[in-house]
Chain A
Amino acid sequence: MKTNLASWRDEWGYHLLLLIAVFLMLWPIVFMLSTSLKDLNQVFESTLNPLPFPPTFDNYTNVLENFPLLTYIWNTFYIAIIVTLSKALTSVLAAFGFVYYDFKYKETIFNGMLLTFFIPITVLIMPNYLLMAKLGLLDTPYGVMLPSLVDGMGVFLMRQTMRGIPKPLLEAAILDGATPWQILRKVVLPLIKPSVLAISILFFINSWNEYFWPLLILQDKSNLTLPLALQMFISAEGGSEWGVAMAVATLTSLPPLVLYGFCQKFIINTFMQAGVKG
């Protein structure tokens, strides 16, 4: 074993590299928070100061009074929660179909599902937009949700996880006369619960953050989601309201940050264990 001192001597250069990266990653976030707590003068006069003094919540009250912010939060949440549930459900069902059953063209069908993960979104938007128009779902949350109810990566990850379940466990259940549906619910699901939860958190965060597809579907100001609302502060509202813009950005970032704060070990570990391989 090396002594503490020796390991410091060998490693300080690497720690420096890491700390520089940490600084670059965190500084914009700190900056967003601190700017949102500054009044207009402070924004321009002490731009770099990370500790606004005195901090002011004017930007927040300003947005809350002048914009239907709570509606935006609800819109974003409503879409995200349904998308998340549906993605998790369809992924688990399909993955179970692939793991428990043997059928013709299995790998082809699986690869077909996985491939959808790699199709660029703009290739899909125009035909899907026309479809939503036909269904009369433009400017509704359902138009946003519908094409996002399924996820190729979800199917892949759930299959990977289920493959890790020891075969004898399943065989014992079959011998006991359990039906496949019972096996999925009573044997498989309890075992893969942590992975389902972890991927659901990621689905939720991704849907919460989604910008491009909702941008096309949602028009009316009262239907917008938070990431879309952000756009208003750089186009119409002019370029000087940085404090307000940062307040909205902070509010948009809060749920993902809180979720991550509570579940970070869990999320990171799931990623590291699931063996995300191509």
Chain B
Amino acid sequence: MSKNSFQAALYLLPAGLLFLVFFYWPLLQNAYLSLFSWNMVSPNMKFVGAENFSVIFASPELWKILLNTVLFVVIMLVLNFVLPYIYSFILGHVVTRWSSFYRSALFLPSTLSLAVASILFLWIYNPLAGPLQIILSWFSLESPRWFKEDYLVIFAICTIIGWKVFGYNMIVMLAAMVAVPKELIEAAKLENASNWTIFRKIILPMTSSTAIYVFTITVVFGLQYVLVPVNMLTQGGPDQGSSNLVYIIYQYAFTFFQTGRSAAYAVITMVCYLLFLFVKNKYLEKKVYYEN
């Protein structure tokens, strides 16, 4: 290891500079803009102090958005964290054949664009002529208007994300699964332990560090993935029913042209994210078994 920090700085410079300009400077600028009332084009910005924040905290909109966000997160945790966890276990330690076929097939959707996924599911969920409507009609059920009803819209959007992300998360989990020594599992099987027992007593503790990683990206990226179908299919509607902490920043900036309000929401969202990462590092990581 060399201690020449000047040389080291040269290697870090290209990445470091880009990170500062396009990631850290915007954070500061948001904090600054959140103190003004501005519409992005007018030459005069009006200083309003903390008014943007007080208006946001007093509005019922914030609570609706927070509730939506929680709902998004909970559904995505089931589809993109719990299910991939279970499936990676089945793939890694239960079935003995065809696993590379399953792996490839399940990973496939995660290579496609969310824009493609959105348009695909818009047709699949189409309440008048879409394929799901036909399948429902076999059971004499009427298709709901998936993207037009409160709560249902969140579920429908989550299934789009679920379809796209499931395979990727499963592969990441599978990497941790196959790192669990086979002998351990074999030994447990000789003792007639059920798959459920093996999952709880061996797999859960030994894969927990990767599980926490997948848990984190499911929450953190999930809310960003949601942006694409929300913007393409609902624009946050019906009546903000599919907006969330991440999308609302965009709405205030580029739909309502209230720069200050948008920046204030950006600050609030960033604080929520940091809080989440902090809590995760402090409380979750401690309980984890690290292999290395």
* Binary per-residue interface labels of chain B (68-85) against chain A in the complex, 1 for a CB within 8 Å, 0 otherwise: 000000000000000000
Complexed CA–CA distance, A144 and B212 (Å)? 32
Q: Are B15 and A278 neighbours in the complex by a CB distance under 8 Å? A: no
Contact partner, A121, options B40, B91, B167, B227, Cβ 8 Å: B227
Indicate if A64 sits at the interface (CB-CB under 8 A): no
Q: Are A94 and B14 neighbours in the complex by a CB distance under 8 Å? A: yes
Complexed CA–CA distance, A5 and B97 (Å)? 13
Indicate if B11 sits at the interface (CB-CB under 8 A): yes
Closest to B121 in A: A28
Neighbouring B residues of A227 by C-beta, 8 Å: 113-116
Q: Which of A237-270 contact B (CB under 8 A)?
A: 239, 242, 245-246, 249, 252-253, 256-257, 259-260, 264, 268
* Binary per-residue interface labels of chain A (215-231) against chain B in the complex, 1 for a CB within 8 Å, 0 otherwise: 11000000000111011
* Binary per-residue interface labels of chain B (229-251) against chain A in the complex, 1 for a CB within 8 Å, 0 otherwise: 00111000000000000110110
Q: How far is the CB of A237 from chain B (nearest CB, A)?
A: 12
Closest to B96 in A: A7
Indicate if A96 sits at the interface (CB-CB under 8 A): yes
Neighbouring B residues of A120 by C-beta, 8 Å: 220, 223-224, 246, 249, 269-270, 273
Q: How many residue pairs at the A-B interface have CB separations less than 8 Å?
A: 279
Q: Are A25 and B175 neighbours in the complex by a CB distance under 8 Å? A: no
Complexed CA–CA distance, A128 and B25 (Å)? 9
Contact partner, B3, options A11, A96, A103, A273, Cβ 8 Å: A103
In the complex, how many residues of chain B place their beta carbon closer than 8 angstroms to a beta carbon of chain A? 100
Indicate if B190 sits at the interface (CB-CB under 8 A): no
Q: Are A91 and B22 neighbours in the complex by a CB distance under 8 Å? A: no
Q: Are A209 and B18 neighbours in the complex by a CB distance under 8 Å? A: no
* Binary per-residue interface labels of chain A (124-140) against chain B in the complex, 1 for a CB within 8 Å, 0 otherwise: 11111111000000000
Indicate if A31 sits at the interface (CB-CB under 8 A): yes
Q: Are A15 and B98 neighbours in the complex by a CB distance under 8 Å? A: yes
Neighbouring B residues of A124 by C-beta, 8 Å: 22-23, 26-27
Neighbouring A residues of B231 by C-beta, 8 Å: 211-212, 215
Q: Are B3 and A271 neighbours in the complex by a CB distance under 8 Å? A: no
Indicate if B57 sits at the interface (CB-CB under 8 A): no
Q: Are B115 and A25 neighbours in the complex by a CB distance under 8 Å? A: no
Q: Are B123 and A246 neighbours in the complex by a CB distance under 8 Å? A: yes
Q: Are B112 and A277 neighbours in the complex by a CB distance under 8 Å? A: no
Q: How far is the CB of B252 from chain A (nearest CB, A)?
A: 9
Neighbouring A residues of B228 by C-beta, 8 Å: 211-212
Indicate if B35 sits at the interface (CB-CB under 8 A): no
Q: List the one stretch of B47-55, B100-108, B150-158, B197-205 in contact with chain A.
A: B100-108
Neighbouring A residues of B98 by C-beta, 8 Å: 15, 18
Q: How far is the CB of A166 from chain B (nearest CB, A)?
A: 14
* Binary per-residue interface labels of chain B (12-53) against chain A in the complex, 1 for a CB within 8 Å, 0 otherwise: 101110110111111101100100000010000000000000
Q: List the one stretch of A51-59, A67-75, A111-119, A192-200 in contact with chain B.
A: A111-119
Q: How many A residues touch the partner, as a band?
A: 35 or more
Neighbouring A residues of B97 by C-beta, 8 Å: 7
Neighbouring A residues of B5 by C-beta, 8 Å: 101, 103-104
Indicate if A172 sits at the interface (CB-CB under 8 A): no
Complexed CA–CA distance, A118 and B113 (Å)? 20
Q: How far is the CB of B76 from chain A (nearest CB, A)?
A: 14
Neighbouring A residues of B218 by C-beta, 8 Å: none
Complexed CA–CA distance, A234 and B163 (Å)? 20
Q: Are A101 and B11 neighbours in the complex by a CB distance under 8 Å? A: yes
Neighbouring A residues of B26 by C-beta, 8 Å: 123-124, 126-128
* Binary per-residue interface labels of chain A (29-50) against chain B in the complex, 1 for a CB within 8 Å, 0 otherwise: 1011001000000001001100
Complexed CA–CA distance, A147 and B24 (Å)? 12
Most chain-A Cβ atoms within 10 A of its Cβ — which of B10, B22, B111, B131? Answer: B111
Most chain-B Cβ atoms within 10 A of its Cβ — which of A93, A122, A259? Answer: A122
Complexed CA–CA distance, A271 and B109 (Å)? 16
Q: How far is the CB of A13 from chain B (nearest CB, A)?
A: 10
6 contacts between A and B (CB under 8 A): A18-B87, A94-B14, A100-B8, A152-B19, A245-B119, A249-B119
10 other contacts beyond A24-B163, A47-B129, A277-B210, with CB at 8 A cut-off? A48-B134, A116-B23, A120-B269, A121-B246, A122-B224, A123-B270, A126-B249, A230-B116, A246-B119, A268-B104
